[in-house]
Structure 1
Amino acid sequence: MQASDFTVDALGGVVRIRLDFSDNEFDGHRFSKFRDPWCDAAPDSRASDTVVAELLWRFPDAEGTTGSVAELSTYATLAAIEANRGRLLMLHAAGVADDAGKVLAFIGPSGKGKTTLARTLGTDYGYVTDETVGIGPDGSVHPYRKPLSVIRSGEDYKEQLAPSALGLRELPDAALQLGGLIVVARVEDFVGSPEVATLGLCEALAAIVPEASYLADMDQPLQTIARHVDQCGAIQQVTYRDATQILSLVPELMSRTEPEEWQAVLPTEGAGVLSTVSQSSFMPMPVIDAVEAGGQTAILDTNRMVHVLDGVGPVVWRTLGRGLDYESILREVELEFGAPPEQSLDAAVDGILGAFADAGLVLRIPVPQP
């Protein structure tokens, strides 16, 4: 490795950053502006020695340095995420760890306060990341102690600073393991104490899937999240106004809440029924994954959209996918819910199958009438 290159531990692998000096000559002071913010992400015994990505970056002149340093952070993150697609569950989340190595992942979209949370909680807990929490199949957490973007008072740009420069704690000596998944809902005009609510698995999946990178490239992605929940406890949501309100809640959020039981409900090959009301065949479309829990079903379709079914919908989806005939589906629905009060049972089931077809979950094939 040349003196002008440096490496960072990013999600358990090494990203090598090579600065290209073909346009501007080497300047040690400017070089340090690129390297120093990454000092807390230097590979150590936790990181694999495998280089998972290399990033060639043009060394700018003095005028363009500030913007280039910030942009490098973005591209290094993208390179690390790309290198780990299909291998790790990667959530857009801030992560902090207690002394035992239990990691809380605070999940939310960009611009919703994850960096502020990381800065606030990271003074008392080990700073794992403010960007992406990478989770292995065994629940191990791979840190990404990237620089944090900070807007200086009176400035119109974001400065990249190492966590230690902001007084954030080092990681504990213990191995990092997922301790909880928290959906954050920051509300600027929220009044009162923060509210913590336990989410049903399917409701939580609908909130988490948009905040996961390359989820569809994983094998059984929804089931993978559900298995993590089995280990760390039910997914919780915290609604709050200011990040300082969360600090006292961390012990509560670290405590395990019993998760719901769940089952996979993927359609069997060749499943489908002929409706006696609409005289249409309904065949389940291929989906990436589907799980049922707590009277709901979460389905990740091939367009990477999440559908949450409730009411009678989960029963119809489950029985249709098992290849039961139409009469058997009607019996299953009646057994669980009874006859509908305002319409016939078969008309109600037909309506659900039609809604599935409108959502792209089943294929409707009209049967020609004699």
Structure 2
Amino acid sequence: MADEEGRALVVIGPSGSGKTTAVQLLARRLGYLSDETTSVDDTLAVHPHPKPLSVITDSDAPLLKHSLSPDDLDLLRPPPSARLHRIVLLHRGDTDRGLLPLAPARAIAEIVAQTSSLVRLEHPVRRLADTIDACGGAWALDYSEVEHWLDDLVALLDVEGRPPLPRRHHPGSGDGVADGSRTPGAWTRVPWRDAIEYDDELVLMIDSRVHVLAGLGVVLWLALEAPLTTDRLVAEVQELWGAHPDAVALVGDALRLMATEGLLRPPA
């Protein structure tokens, strides 16, 4: 949806998160752009796709939906042009905390799950991080009934955006395939497509999957810029965080978990 100035608000969520209901209600206050696909180009211009909405018309048959045109639903026409301005991730549940700032690492992970063909872009994780920064951050709507939060969602267009967080880009190889060489006895990174490091989190894309690392996982992945043995990794962690009686066990467990998740290759 977009206001008369062309400032677009996008709501994102998986099936069942209430997107269509939110769009149907919001588009009686803002111009209707799309209920299905948000198509955004390099300039953050949003291209309209005003398809019919799949709407439940009988509460006794919640699985039966009918396609209704935007005109039949009295939705507002969009402005001549629109630009992505605010991003909201829908978190539907039993609580009603409203709009909450969402950490960019988590926002990226949630958005990736709802995108198509993102991996075809160059540096896809960085592109999403850039988009979030350009939109003043991302928000989560923690809600049970979206009707209670329509005023807040519309008002978000006028809320001052948050400043970008410091981050560092760790680009993978252009085709997502890195050097396959192995060092005997050493751990190595699995080839990755793209990664963004924030202060205490790292968003890592391998193939089309995204993982968000925190704490020890971030330290180990960053340390493995070159292959290292377990002993060397333990030493690296203790040099950064100080000595710990269970350092060997903790590092070993973390390495094995990261290998199981497909992020690292164990020693040959």
2:30 counterpart of 1:125: yes
2:13 counterpart of 1:108: yes
**Cα displacement string for residues 157-189 of structure 1 (whole angstroms, at most 9, x for unaligned residues):** 43322212211111123x3111111110122x4
Question: What are structure 1's unaligned runs of at least 5 residues?
Answer: 1-95
Equivalent residue for 1:209, pick from 112, 123, 131:
112
2:223 counterpart of 1:319: yes
The two structures, once aligned, show a CA RMSD in angstroms of 2.6
Kindly indicate whether the alpha-carbon contact (under 8 Å) linking 1:199 and 1:237 is maintained by their aligned counterparts in 2.
Answer: yes
- The 5-angstrom pairing of residues 61-100 of structure 1 reads 96-100=1-5
Equivalent residue number for residue 266 of structure 2: 364
Kindly indicate whether the alpha-carbon contact (under 8 Å) linking 1:141 and 1:177 is maintained by their aligned counterparts in 2.
Answer: yes
Please state how far the C-alpha of 1:328 moved relative to its aligned partner. Answer: 7.2
How far apart in 2 are the matches of 1:318 and 1:271? 18
Please state how far the C-alpha of 1:128 moved relative to its aligned partner. Answer: 1.2
Kindly indicate whether the alpha-carbon contact (under 8 Å) linking 2:190 and 2:264 is maintained by their aligned counterparts in 1.
Answer: yes
Equivalent residue number for residue 59 of structure 1: none
Kindly indicate whether the alpha-carbon contact (under 8 Å) linking 1:97 and 1:176 is maintained by their aligned counterparts in 2.
Answer: yes
SS in structure 2 of the partner of residue 171 of structure 1: coil
How far apart in 1 are the matches of 2:181 and 2:58? 62
Equivalent residue for 1:177, pick from 72, 83, 93:
83
2:257 counterpart of 1:355: yes
Kindly indicate whether the alpha-carbon contact (under 8 Å) linking 1:285 and 1:362 is maintained by their aligned counterparts in 2.
Answer: yes
SS in structure 2 of the partner of residue 97 of structure 1: coil
TM-score (norm 1): 0.63
SS in structure 1 of the partner of residue 39 of structure 2: strand
How far apart in 2 are the matches of 1:159 and 1:354? 49
Read off the aligned partner of 1:221 and give its amino acid letter.
P
Kindly indicate whether the alpha-carbon contact (under 8 Å) linking 2:4 and 2:79 is maintained by their aligned counterparts in 1.
Answer: yes
How far apart in 1 are the matches of 2:44 and 2:239? 39
Equivalent residue for 1:337, pick from 225, 241, 248:
241
Please state how far the C-alpha of 1:123 moved relative to its aligned partner. Answer: 0.6
- The 5-angstrom pairing of residues 1-370 of structure 1 reads 96-153=1-58, 157-173=64-80, 175-187=81-93, 189-190=94-95, 193-254=96-157, 255=159, 256-266=161-171, 270=179, 280-302=185-207, 304-321=208-225, 323=226, 332-340=236-244, 342-344=245-247, 348-366=250-268
SS in structure 2 of the partner of residue 216 of structure 1: helix
Read off the aligned partner of 1:209 and give its amino acid letter.
V
Kindly indicate whether the alpha-carbon contact (under 8 Å) linking 2:172 and 2:193 is maintained by their aligned counterparts in 1.
Answer: no
Percent of pairs with identical residues? 29
How far apart in 2 are the matches of 1:365 and 1:126? 56
**Cα displacement string for residues 102-124 of structure 1 (whole angstroms, at most 9, x for unaligned residues):** 11111011222111111111111
Please state how far the C-alpha of 1:299 moved relative to its aligned partner. Answer: 1.3
Relative to 1, partners in 2 of residues 1:152 and 1:230: Cα closer, same or farther, differing over 3 Å? Answer: closer
